[in-house]
């Protein structure tokens, strides 16, 4: 919405007294720059501000409209769920991306959120390397093809394309395919980093062949500068809060990468070389370099049509999983991320001008602390082991009660339990009844706070409290499992299909839903807002500023503080 006056009440009262020549709309931004930091909990941008420069987080926090209590309003705080919510302004129950994976009834298997065999990668050798891939959700995909077709509604970037008759240039860039694809929407272009080839790649959904500049950029071997290098501390070690905790026993000791500084990348022939880059700030640096190439070669922000660039930084997530958010590695990563964001904003200022650029920064989810770290401080807690649930005596008794001789729980892939529906149908049992009795038993297991059946959700039989509301917001009839499991606060599953991680996310607890939300640039007046706001408000607010319709499934509301902060 192009704003005429800061107060709509004043405008209504005075409009009849003003000639129409005075009612001129504010210029629209030349570029919308959306920065998403994977696993950036809402408190993290301010954690080490005294050791950060002026151009990154300090600029955003001091010059922007800062929402101090922004939260995702859904229960499964995973990467694709949060990214899709930020992109669409919709809840997962509407946009359909209810998890990084879900069970597909037609295919009778778990599917990866953006996999699409109809659109193979343009680089034949850039698919997922099953042997070196540490992301279990990536290993779920049966095809290297990728597209946004599983997103069931439009994104803000789609609406920008529609409003400009396709003239707006829209790009999404990330190390993660799901981080790039979700934000670029159905109509933009997405590029992501291949840990197999060390290139930024895309699929045939977007192009028939690579633009020449992409071929040249990849041909220059962008990862070569890290050959036989290492991740070292960026500042004097004595200045770090976690300086004396470099080797914590709960950190994941990834072979060849280690638990202590310096973390060696090894040489480019090492099959884990590109993976190691993503486990460090190097992944964000590569993303920045490619994003700059997009701006330069696609001439973003250089005409009268508003363009859109999404940059999703993934290193904070990988570092958090491997070392935990309270670690020396996580601390240095945040300091380096600040430098990376400073670099990006300085580049955009030179190319487009920050006054011509509307910047928004948020995150797809927060982060849980490592249970062992919390225990060391006095809060005794430990991970949960769902693989044992079907073998519990109470579950054995249930199977005997129903006359079942096979596993009743077919699989558990966080946060859903999938029951053996073929067995339930064969024995002519009521699925709703089986869901209920299994949920009642699961709620008694160690570490489980809540178990909600899909039948209760769909029949509107759930209580209206905080946790149940977030679970309902996450439910999609065609994709969600039989039982949604909420683990107790500070408890999680540490086994990611064979890889034991230090920490993870994915719960409805406040540390996982809490994210930063900052609007800056575009001559915005600075303001700090402490009201509880939703991440679904982001896309709606961007739409309001540009005077275009909101995404088709949007649930949020325009943030009036941002609209009022625009200089006119």
What stretches of 395-513 adopt beta strand conformation (E)?
Answer: 409-413, 416-419, 448-453, 483-487, 495-496, 499-500
What is the C-alpha to C-alpha distance for residues 553 and 536, in angstroms, rounded to an integer? 10
* DSSP character at residue 528: E
Contact 493, 455 (CB under 8 A): no
Between helices 156-163 and 537-546, what is the axis angle to 10°?
20
Look at residue 7 and tell me whether its pLDDT is greater than 70: no
What three-state secondary structure class fits 431? helix
Percent of residues, the chain, with pLDDT higher than 90? 82
Contacts of residue 261, defined as CB under 8 A and 6 or more positions apart, other chains included, come to 231, 232, 233, 246, 328, 329, 332
Q: How many helices (H) and strands (E) does the chain have?
A: 21, 19
Look at residue 19 and tell me whether its pLDDT is greater than 80: no
**What element of type H or E holds 36?**
strand 31-37
**DSSP labels, 192-259:** EE-TTTSSEE-BTTT-SS--HHHHHHHHT-GGGGGTT-EE--SS-GGG-TTTT-SS-TTS---TTT-S
**84-98, 221-235, 487-501, 524-538: segment of lowest average pLDDT:** 487-501
List, for residues 268-284, the tens digit of each pLDDT value. Answer: 999 999 999 999 999 99
Look at residue 416 and tell me whether its pLDDT is greater than 90: yes
pLDDT band, very low/low/confident/very high, at 131 (cuts 50, 70, 90) = low
pLDDT of residue 472: 98
Torsion sign (Cα): 466, 471, 472, 474 = positive
Domains of the chain, earliest start first: 31-89+151-190+221-374+512-564 (3.40.720.10), 386-445+448-487 (3.30.1360.150)
Reported pTM: 0.94
**What element of type H or E holds 338?**
helix 328-351
pLDDT of residue 497: 61
pLDDT of residue 285: 98
Torsion sign (Cα): 313, 314, 319, 320 = positive
Mean pLDDT of 37-49: 98
Shortest CA distance to 192 belongs to which of 184, 183, 201?
Answer: 201
pLDDT band, very low/low/confident/very high, at 87 (cuts 50, 70, 90) = very high
Mean pLDDT of 532-544: 98
**4-8, 91-95, 163-167: segment of lowest average pLDDT:** 4-8
**4-8, 155-159, 516-520, 540-544: segment of lowest average pLDDT:** 4-8
Mean pLDDT of 462-489: 97
Average pLDDT, the chain: 92
Look at residue 12 and tell me whether its pLDDT is greater than 70: no
Shortest CA distance to 404 belongs to which of 383, 425, 382?
Answer: 425
Residue 370, both tokens: 């490592």
Mean pLDDT of 553-562: 98
Look at residue 135 and tell me whether its pLDDT is greater than 90: no
Tokens 């509604």 -> residue: 153
List, for residues 296-305, the tens digit of each pLDDT value. Answer: 999 999 999 9
3-state secondary structure 297-323: HHCCCCCCCCEEEEEEECHHHHHHHHH
Angstrom CA distances, 45 to 54, 75, 232, 363, 561, stand at 13, 23, 21, 11, 21
pLDDT of residue 553: 98
Contact 163, 170 (CB under 8 A): no
pLDDT of residue 21: 33
- Find the Cα–Cα–Cα–Cα dihedral 373, 377, 383, 384, rounded to 10°: -160
**Of 556 and 9, which is predicted with more confidence?**
556
Look at residue 498 and tell me whether its pLDDT is greater than 80: no
Contacts of residue 13, defined as CB under 8 A and 6 or more positions apart, other chains included, come to none
What is the C-alpha to C-alpha distance for residues 447 and 376, in angstroms, rounded to an integer? 19
Look at residue 3 and tell me whether its pLDDT is greater than 60: no
Angstrom CA distances, 501 to 348, 362, 434, 526, 540, stand at 36, 24, 33, 39, 36
Percent of residues, the chain, with pLDDT higher than 70? 94
């Amino acid at each position: 919405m192009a704003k005429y006056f800061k107060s709509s009440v004043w405008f209504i009262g005075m409009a009849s007294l003003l000639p129409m020549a005075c009612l001129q709309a504010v210029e629209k931004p030349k570029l919308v720059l959306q920065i998403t930091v994977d696993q950036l909990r809402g408190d993290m941008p301010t954690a080490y501000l005294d050791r950060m420069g002026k151009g990154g987080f300090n600029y955003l926090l001091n010059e922007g409209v800062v929402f101090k209590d922004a939260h995702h309003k859904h229960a499964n705080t995973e990467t694709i769920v949060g990214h899709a919510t930020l992109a669409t302004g919709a809840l997962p129950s509407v946009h359909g991306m209810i998890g990084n994976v879900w069970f597909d009834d037609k295919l009778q298997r778990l599917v990866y959120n953006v996999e699409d065999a109809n659109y193979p990668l343009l680089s034949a050798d850039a698919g997922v390397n099953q042997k070196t891939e540490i992301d279990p959700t990536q290993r779920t995909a049966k095809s290297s093809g990728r597209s946004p077709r599983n997103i069931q509604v439009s994104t803000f970037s789609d609406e920008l394309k529609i409003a400009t008759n396709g003239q707006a240039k829209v790009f999404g860039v990330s190390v993660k395919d799901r981080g790039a694809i979700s934000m670029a929407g159905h109509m933009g272009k997405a590029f992501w980093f291949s840990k197999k080839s060390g290139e930024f790649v895309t699929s045939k959904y977007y192009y028939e062949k690579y633009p020449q500049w992409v071929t040249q950029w990849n041909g220059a071997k962008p990862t070569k500068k890290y050959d036989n290098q290492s991740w070292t501390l960026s500042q004097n070690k004595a200045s770090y809060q976690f300086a004396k905790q470099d080797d914590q026993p709960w950190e994941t000791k990834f072979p060849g990468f280690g638990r202590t500084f310096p973390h060696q990348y090894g040489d480019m022939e090492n099959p884990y070389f590109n993976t190691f880059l993503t486990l460090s700030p190097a992944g964000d640096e590569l993303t920045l370099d490619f994003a700059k190439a997009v701006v330069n070669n696609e001439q973003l922000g250089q005409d009268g049509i508003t363009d859109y660039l999404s940059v999703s930084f993934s290193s904070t997530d990988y570092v958090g999983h491997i070392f935990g958010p309270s670690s020396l590695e996580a601390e240095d990563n945040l300091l380096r991320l600040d430098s990376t964001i400073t670099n990006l904003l300085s580049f955009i200022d030179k190319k487009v001008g920050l006054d011509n650029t509307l910047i928004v920064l948020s995150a797809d989810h927060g982060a849980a602390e490592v249970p062992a770290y919390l225990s060391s401080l006095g809060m005794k807690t430990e991970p949960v082991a769902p693989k044992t649930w079907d073998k519990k005596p109470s579950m054995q008794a249930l199977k005997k009660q129903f006359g079942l001789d096979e596993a009743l729980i077919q699989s558990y892939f966080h946060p859903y339990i999938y029951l053996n529906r073929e067995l339930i149908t064969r024995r002519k049992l009521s699925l709703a009844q089986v869901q209920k009795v299994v949920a009642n038993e699961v709620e008694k297991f160690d570490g489980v706070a809540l178990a909600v059946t899909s039948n209760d959700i769909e029949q509107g039989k759930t209580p209206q409290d905080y946790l149940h509301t977030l679970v309902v917001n996450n439910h999609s009839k065609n994709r969600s499992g039989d039982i949604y499991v909420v683990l107790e606060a500070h408890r999680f599953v540490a086994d990611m299909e064979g890889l034991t991680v230090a920490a993870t996310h994915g719960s409805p607890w406040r540390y996982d839903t809490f994210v930063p939300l900052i609007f800056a640039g575009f001559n915005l007046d600075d303001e700090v807002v402490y009201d509880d706001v939703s991440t679904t408000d982001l896309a709606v607010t961007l739409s309001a500023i540009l005077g275009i319709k909101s995404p088709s499934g949007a649930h949020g509301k325009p943030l009036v503080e941002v609209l009022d902060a625009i200089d006119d």
